[in-house]
Amino acid sequence: MPNLQHFLNVFTSSYEIFLNGLWITSKLSIVSLLIALIIGIFFALIKISNIRILAWIADAYIWIVRGTPLVVQIFILFYGLTNVLVIPMFWAGAAGLAFHSGAYIAEIIRGAIQSIDKGQKEAAMSLGMSKRLTMQRIIFPQALRRSLPALGNQFIIGIKDSSLVSFIGMQDLFGVASTMGSNNFDFLSYYLTVAIYYLLIVLILIYMVRLFEKRLAISD
């Protein structure tokens, strides 16, 4: 167990290389979560559609993601994509994370949409609004607000899950900690250091989600 002075020395002397890992982790998390949000909304909408084959496809996608470990999904997508296409490691990792998070976001959005009172949909359609316009202007905005706390939690999980891309060679925060630990034979100090960086990222995200929730509450 490293003493406090040694840990502080490691923390202060390694900040530059950890900042590079933080930049990669931040880019990877933002890109993958944005793609996952698009995937999630798409599969949520087709799951609640009246087209049975589309609903089955959505169910199969969500079942596969829930039934297999994320690290396995990342490996399959990384080695599968790189065998077919010349794709940068960053985008292969982002695709794996987005594929995984998208399934959970789909269930969050689906649940939020189905929680909206059906009377609102019926009232809108009685006024001559189409199903698409009703969903776009009435149902979906309310569902997005209701799903915000759960989406915030999923985003936090997505950021922590991004550490698994280090297993395909990316030098994100966890990859940097593993490399530095191997080079200096001091794994614990570097893993404690990277834990602090992840805690700071999560605290910032929690603050941003709560701030956004308060603004939405005021607008209501």
* CATH number of the domain within which 121 lies: 1.10.3720.10
Residues 18, 181: Cα–Cα separation, whole Å: 12
CB 127 within 8 A of CB 61: no
pTM: 0.88
- What φ, ψ does residue 165 adopt, rounded to 5°? -70, -15
Q: What is the pLDDT of residues 12-30, one digit of tens each?
A: 888 888 999 999 999 999 9
Q: What confidence tier does 38 reach under pLDDT thresholds 50, 70, 90? A: very high
- What mean pLDDT value characterizes the chain? 87
Q: What is the pLDDT of residues 160-192, one digit of tens each?
A: 999 999 988 888 999 999 999 888 888 888 999
Residues 170, 101: Cα–Cα separation, whole Å: 19
pLDDT at residue 103 above 90? yes
Contacts of 67 (CB under 8 A, 6+ apart): none
CB 108 within 8 A of CB 150: yes
Which residue segment(s) compose the domain that 29 sits in? 4-219
> What single letter denotes the amino acid at residue 53?
I
pLDDT at residue 219 above 80? no
How many domains would you assign to the chain? 1
